A and B are shown apart, each in its own frame.
Chain A
Amino acid sequence: MARETSEVITVYEPVIGLEVHVQLKTKSKIFCACSTEFGREPNENTCPVCLGLPGSLPVLNERALELAIRVGLALNCEVSPVIKFDRKNYFYPDLPKAYQISQYDKPVSSKGYLTIEFKQDGKVMKKKIGITRAHLEEDAGKLLHEGIRDGSWVDYNRAGVPLLEIVSEPDLRSPEEAFQYLTSLKAILQYLDVSDCNMEEGSLRCDANVSVRKKGETEFGTKVEIKNMNSFRAVQKAITYEIKRQIGQNESGERIVQETRLWNESKGETSSMRSKEQAHDYRYFPEPDLVPFSVAKEQVEKFRKSLPELPQVRAERFRSQYGLSEYDAYTLVSDKALGDYFEACVKENVSPKLASNWIQTETLALVNSSGSTIQNFKLSPAATAGTIRLIENGTISGKIAKEVYSIMFETKKSAEEIVKEKDLVQVTDTVSLEASVQKVIQANPKVVADFKSGKDSALGFLVGQVMKETKGRANPALVNGILRKKLTGG
């Protein structure tokens, strides 16, 4: 019998590398002037070039190259001094020329790294993941099967959309690290504004190379490529499944076959697609229709200087400029729009720490419950800051603020208006508060006795009762002070 599963797993170490295809956000395709817009009628965005009609020739869209270089620089890569393309030959109906124009031996960028950050026990951990290469290529079309009775149709709208294939070193050691790699990579791409990174629309796709070996071994095991995952979570799940499958194979003495496997989301498992023997010989050779050319060093430096602030640098700045914790800073920058929202709030002169807490809890809760995104969120940063400001200056309590915030979401009125209309201003008048406190003390003799006999937590209950009495409008700190004074006979 095999050993206990968890015990077995700890003996093994997974080795994971990811290949990410990112659609670059250019207006026109990589080798022709057709639009890249998603969601058009089939074959609306096509011309002789992207249809691969006889006689047509490609001309490089320089914007695609610029975006690719920017990504390379952000991933700490070396940018190739020579830009050269190659043909990758294979037959498939979605590939109009029967070859894909790609880059083989001289990728636009290589030898970089990406630092992944992940939260572990409330702390932010860091790990450098090598980037082998990032190369430019053209996307293929799409086969349509649904609703077509005989055969299939082909939509070439996607054919010729610029892709950057980013290949990592096999440096990832767990499905979680793979997930974090994708999250960090997506954040960088969003900061660079080079891709929509939408896995559902296919603007970001990921294949995983997975192998396992016994811990301490230096040789890699036989690797398996997994395809067909359409979310970061699916990547994580597919890798988890694959690691278990491979360990199972090893333990039962079966050899792992080098192959490509497809992830089946509904079944939650991978299945064999083709073996190494069936793998294509792509017959790469230099693309004769595109002459290799060099990119001036000065141009690359210009791109480098114009790079935007990237997530990790921004997180550092959030810590030093706003005094945020590493954890909060990490959370806020992991989504560019969230970080932008936070900074816009802070610009309205509210406490950064208060803003950070409020946005991470209340704002995100509303965003999620309303099925929106932070980019499209109905409440502006200024509106949110209005609520935060009222807490900060003591006009309302945090509890009332939540109520105000949700009313604000429904009515779009300003925080101040809502507070005024609903008479929610915090009661800070000690005389009127003392009356309420007196009332609560009289109504709860047992709790009062508990407190007096040394049960300090009883005070919290009494504060809560006063808040209830004042419909939440009392300033809790004041109530606390008055109660303590009265009960300890000060």
Chain B
Amino acid sequence: MEPYQFSVKQAKEFSAKNQNGPSELTQSLAKRIQNFDSKVKAYVHFDPTRVLLPKDGKKGPLYGVPISVKDNIVIESWETTCASKILTGFIPPYDATVIRKLREAGAVIFGKCNMDEFAFGSSCETSFFGPTRNPWNLDYVPGGSSGGSAAAVAGDLAIAALGTDTGGSIRQPASFCGVVGLKPTYGRVSRYGLVAFGSSLDQIGPITKTVEDAAILMNVLAGHDSQDSTSADVPVPDYTSFLGKSMKGLKVGIPKEYFVKGLDPEVNQAIQKTIGVFKDLGAGCVEVNLPNTKYAVAVYYIVAVAEASSNLGRFDGVQYGFRHETSSLRDLYFETRDQGFGAEAKRRILLGTFVLSAGYYDAYYLKGLKVRTLIKQDFDRAFERVDVILGPTSPTPPFKVGEKMNDPLAMYLSDIYTISANLAGLPAINIPCGFTEGAGHASPLPIGVQLVAKPFEEGTLFRAASAYEQATQWHEKHPKL
């Protein structure tokens, strides 16, 4: 086994045991990237000379573990672009809180992963730097927006990575790439240093090879941050204590609204098999109702774009990033933003500006907030009866590069099952649960299952996911590059 194939757990042990462990690990990964990332294009900024190894004396819980980071999380003195032309050349003068925590834990900040521009997308194709490919089949998308992070982890181009999730951007690419992806409860992980998309929805979370790795990372990432007013002052349990436990007595809700037209038969089949495994492991599965699910995508594309239109106002060429040089202020704004943003970013800024405009605010944004509350209440009611809610992460397996780029609505529907957890602020995890077998696909492509829990019950997700992972072999399969 090569070091680049390690899980976080293995990398930890390797670094702890070998004096040159951290350096061997990063070199092994760097070589792997050199050899194969030209195919996958998981990274946008990777410079082995900038990778700082942890000081020897300080052996934290992630000592020597290389972590790759989605390019919308700022790292001091590393270019951060959000895969957008408008931020090219922006060198942040500070570390995001999660980066500081990782460094303090002894982790090696390794490289920056590709993504959809400003996290706007579900395929990693809207990146200014070009699309990332799915390591399982390079003709297919890795999902998005954290497609670079998920592809890197799946292709053994990273030990683990940070992603961000506003409407499914960790879980959907994790599903497409056959890895574990956790979106924590809103407020569980500090957003300080995450370039905002939808501020009331965004969360940073881990993308890993195993459930255990996700728990190990969450032990470091979670917790209150005085620099983020939306971060919650709720105690952080030892997430690894939920691993390897029995699923007996766990109450699992299956929302009937998730199994409707539009759900791919192969995905449905994989989920039904997963439900079977859960039952075999002693979980009690019942049907639950989430009646407002049908409004989730619509509400999301009001709330998220409204916040995004405001959050992206600051990219105007005045202080940093790309600027169209001109003598008039008006032209500076118009030309910088016209040339700096891609088509999807412009579409969302326009939508968001529209829904917040005088005369439309009540009809769209305010109504959106009300429906958001209804969706939250759906989950509150369901969680009176069950511990976790189980369903597909994505309605389809990975699709081909270019397949949905000219059909934004079809693209938006990729997140139909993931969006609700963001609207309700709930923790949700994707774990691999099967592969496609049908004739439509050139080679087997991953399928993922999503588990959703009550706020701050990431532990319950780890318990269920860990028990399922131990009973199955999906996580042991790796793509050949």
Chain A residues packing against B (C-beta within 8 Å): 48, 51-60, 87, 89, 91, 93, 96-99, 151, 154, 281, 283-285, 288-291
Residues of A within 8 A of B228 (CB): 57, 59
A56 to B306, CA, bound (A): 19
Pick 9 A–B contacts, CB within 8 A, sort by A: A53-B92, A54-B82, A55-B92, A59-B229, A87-B310, A98-B316, A283-B356, A285-B310, A285-B361
Q: Which of B314, B357, B361 contacts A52 (CB 8 A)?
A: B314
Contact status B313-A99, CB under 8 Å: yes
Contact status B74-A59, CB under 8 Å: no
Per-residue CB proximity of B189-214 to A under 8 Å, as 1/0?
A: 00111111011100000000000000
CB proximity of A65 to chain B, nearest CB, Å: 13
Residues of A within 8 A of B356 (CB): 89, 283-285
CB proximity of B227 to chain A, nearest CB, Å: 6
* CB-nearest residue of chain B to A59: B229
Residues of A within 8 A of B191 (CB): 57
Residues of A within 8 A of B87 (CB): 54
A405 to B199, CA, bound (A): 66
CB proximity of A127 to chain B, nearest CB, Å: 35
Residues of A within 8 A of B358 (CB): 281, 283
A352 to B317, CA, bound (A): 64
- Is B46 at the interface (CB under 8 A from chain A)? no
* CB-nearest residue of chain A to B307: A288
A291 to B228, CA, bound (A): 10
- Is B51 at the interface (CB under 8 A from chain A)? no
Contact status A59-B227, CB under 8 Å: yes
Contact status B318-A93, CB under 8 Å: yes
Mostly, the A contact residues are loop
A91 to B336, CA, bound (A): 13
* CB-nearest residue of chain B to A87: B310
- Is B73 at the interface (CB under 8 A from chain A)? yes
Known: A48-B93, A54-B80. A285 touches B365 (CB 8 A): yes
Per-residue CB proximity of B254-294 to A under 8 Å, as 1/0?
A: 00000000000000000000000000000000000000000
Known: A91-B316, A285-B310. A54 touches B192 (CB 8 A): no
Mostly, the B contact residues are loop
Residues of B within 8 A of A60 (CB): 229
Q: Which of A57, A98, A99, A284 contacts B227 (CB 8 A)?
A: A57
Residues of B within 8 A of A284 (CB): 356, 361
Contact status B357-A55, CB under 8 Å: no
Add 13 more A-B contacts to A284-B356, A288-B307 (CB < 8 A).
Answer: A53-B94, A53-B319, A55-B74, A55-B94, A57-B228, A59-B227, A59-B229, A96-B314, A96-B319, A97-B313, A98-B310, A285-B365, A291-B230
Contact status B192-A57, CB under 8 Å: yes
The count of residues in chain B whose C-beta lies closer than 8 Å to any C-beta of chain A is 43
Residues of A within 8 A of B313 (CB): 89, 91, 97-99
Per-residue CB proximity of B332-366 to A under 8 Å, as 1/0?
A: 01000000000000000000010011100100010
Contact status A283-B226, CB under 8 Å: no
Known: A51-B319, A99-B310. A288 touches B74 (CB 8 A): no
Shortest 9 CB-CB contacts between residues of A and residues of B = A98-B313, A288-B199, A283-B356, A288-B200, A54-B195, A55-B193, A55-B74, A97-B314, A93-B318
Per-residue CB proximity of B228-239 to A under 8 Å, as 1/0?
A: 111000000000
- Is B320 at the interface (CB under 8 A from chain A)? yes
- Is B1 at the interface (CB under 8 A from chain A)? no
Residues of A within 8 A of B90 (CB): 54
Residues of A within 8 A of B320 (CB): 53
Most buried by A among B200, B229, B353: B229
Contact status A281-B357, CB under 8 Å: yes
- Is B329 at the interface (CB under 8 A from chain A)? yes
A53 to B195, CA, bound (A): 9
* CB-nearest residue of chain A to B318: A93
Residues of B within 8 A of A281 (CB): 357-358
Contact status A55-B318, CB under 8 Å: no
Contact status A290-B229, CB under 8 Å: yes
Known: A54-B87, A55-B96, A99-B310. A289 touches B229 (CB 8 A): yes
Residues of B within 8 A of A53 (CB): 74, 92-94, 319-320
A87 to B353, CA, bound (A): 13
Contact status A91-B333, CB under 8 Å: yes
Most buried by B among A51, A56, A99: A56
Contact status B357-A56, CB under 8 Å: no
CB proximity of A156 to chain B, nearest CB, Å: 9
Residues of B within 8 A of A89 (CB): 309-310, 313, 356
Residues of A within 8 A of B309 (CB): 89, 283
Per-residue CB proximity of B79-109 to A under 8 Å, as 1/0?
A: 0101000010010111010000000000000
* CB-nearest residue of chain B to A48: B94
* CB-nearest residue of chain B to A94: B318
Residues of A within 8 A of B318 (CB): 93, 96, 154
Contact status B96-A59, CB under 8 Å: no
A48 to B365, CA, bound (A): 29
A58 to B96, CA, bound (A): 14
CB proximity of A42 to chain B, nearest CB, Å: 14
Residues of A within 8 A of B192 (CB): 55-57
A89 to B90, CA, bound (A): 23
Residues of A within 8 A of B310 (CB): 87, 89, 98-99, 283, 285
Contact status A98-B314, CB under 8 Å: yes
Contact status A289-B361, CB under 8 Å: no
A285 to B308, CA, bound (A): 12
Tell me the residues in window 117-154 of chain B with beta carbons closer than 8 Å to chain A beta carbons. none
A416 to B351, CA, bound (A): 80
Known: A97-B314, A154-B318. A57 touches B92 (CB 8 A): no
CB proximity of A244 to chain B, nearest CB, Å: 33
A91 to B314, CA, bound (A): 8
Residues of B within 8 A of A52 (CB): 314, 319
Contact status A57-B229, CB under 8 Å: yes
